[in-house]
Amino acid sequence: MVALDLDGTLLSSNGNVADVQAEYLRGLSEKGFHVCIATGRAAMGTHVPAAKLQIPRLPIVCSNGSRGFFWSEGGGSATERPVIEEQFHYHVPKDIVQRALLLANKHDFCLQYYYKDFVYANQKSEIHYTCTKKYTEITGVRIQHISDDYKEMLEKNQLPSKLLLLFDSADNLKARKVANEAFGPSEATIVKGNWTWFLEILSATSNKGIGLRHMCEKLNVPLEEVIAIGDGCNDIEFLQMAGLGVAVQNAEA
């Protein structure tokens, strides 16, 4: 198996998969190799690059390891939704969501909420809307506004696969500090990633390495036969889990 990160690895600076890369990976698949996408993006943010690869039942690990599925084109109309075959899906516990919400409100951060195939945000200020707009520009994912601080979703036990704390880049160090103080490693996984204006909160049992392991179990692929390629801090466990981990030239130090 060849498992690849998206942003900073497979995708170019304009957010696209190059034709030559798509053709090469398609060729590997046709020869019997598994090609897998492993990304911090939500499921909706993987649809465009997956469509470019045109690999049947493409394995995708998304939301930094919290969710895994096989992706196939819907067929028929170009606007038809893709076919998603869910393989695993882990959620952020309710008490962690509630504490993250208190943290966000206390420090004037925006909390972005990933539930099923949708992304929600509780924007309350201009900087919040600036951050969510930036996120949409990068991923192509449309954000849905929530005004009740996720009260209804929590009452229905509609728990997210991950959360994002969004903030002004000037508050980056502050956000990392308060998040690390609020959640111990046994309570939640904090992913700082490549960006200075958000960080992620996952369940304590989720990261891209664990997600890769789950996907390999579904495909009966030994981990020692996996080449993993990535560039960011959120790829560390991913690269360590594989038989061969490769950091690209532009990887974070």
Choice between 158 and 138, residue whose per-residue pLDDT is larger = 158
**Residue 239: helix, strand or coil by DSSP?**
helix
Residue 152, token pair as written in the block = 């209804």
Phi, psi of 165 (to 5 degrees): -95, 120
* 143-157 average pLDDT score: 95
Q: Residue 165 has what pLDDT?
A: 96
Q: Which residue type, as a one-letter code, is found at position 240?
A: Q
Mean pLDDT, rounded, of the chain: 93
94-99 long-range contacts, CB within 8 A, separation 24+: 94/154, 94/157, 94/159, 96/183, 96/187, 96/188, 96/201, 96/203, 97/150, 97/154, 97/159, 97/160, 97/163, 98/154, 99/182, 99/183
Lowest mean pLDDT among 1-10, 49-58, 106-115, 193-202: 193-202
Cα angle 112-117-123, degrees, rounded to a multiple of 5: 20
Three-class SS state of 132: helix
Q: How far apart are CA 99 and CA 239, in angstroms?
A: 31
Helices 94-107/172-182 angle, 10° precision: 140
At 139 the pLDDT is 86
The predicted structure's pLDDT at residue 14: 87
Residue 96 near residue 187 (C-beta atoms within 8 A): yes
Beta strands in 184-248 (DSSP E): 188-191, 198-203, 227-230, 244-247
Residue 60 has pLDDT above 90, yes or no: yes
What does the alpha-carbon distance between residue 137 and residue 114 come to, in Å, rounded to a whole number?
A: 17
* Residue 117 pLDDT exceeds 90: no
**Position 76 pLDDT exceeds 70:** no
Q: Residue 79 — pLDDT band, cuts 50, 70, 90?
A: low
Tens digits of residue pLDDT in 156-204: 999 999 999 999 999 999 999 999 999 999 999 999 877 899 999 999 9
**Global model pTM greater than 0.85:** yes
Question: How many Å apart are CA 248 and CA 251, to the nearest integer?
Answer: 5
- Model confidence at 77: pLDDT above 50: no
pLDDT (tens digit per residue) in 209-234: 999 999 999 999 999 999 999 998 89
